[in-house]
Amino acid sequence: MIRRIVASLLATLFLAGLSGTIAGCNTIEGAGKDIQKGGKVISDEAGKIKNKL
C-alpha cells in the first residue's frame, strides 16, 4: 500500500515537472522572438541614420 502511494506521488510530481518544463520552453521561445524583433528594429533605425550621414 505504501509503495502504491509513493508511486502515485512520484508520478504526480513527474507530470507536474514535465508540464512546467513544456510551459517554460514556450515562454523562452516567445521571449527569443521578441528580442529578435527588437534587434531588427534597432538595426533598421541604425541603417536609416547611417544613410542620412
pLDDT in tens, 1-53: 888 888 888 888 888 877 776 676 667 777 788 889 888 988 998 888 888 87
Closest by CA position to 27, among listed 38, 35, 37: 35
pLDDT in the model for residue 25: 67
Q: Say how far apart CA 46 and CA 53 lie, in whole Å.
A: 11
pLDDT in the model for residue 13: 85
pLDDT in the model for residue 32: 81
pLDDT in the model for residue 19: 76
Side-chain-side CA neighbours of 17 within 13 Å: the count stands at: 6
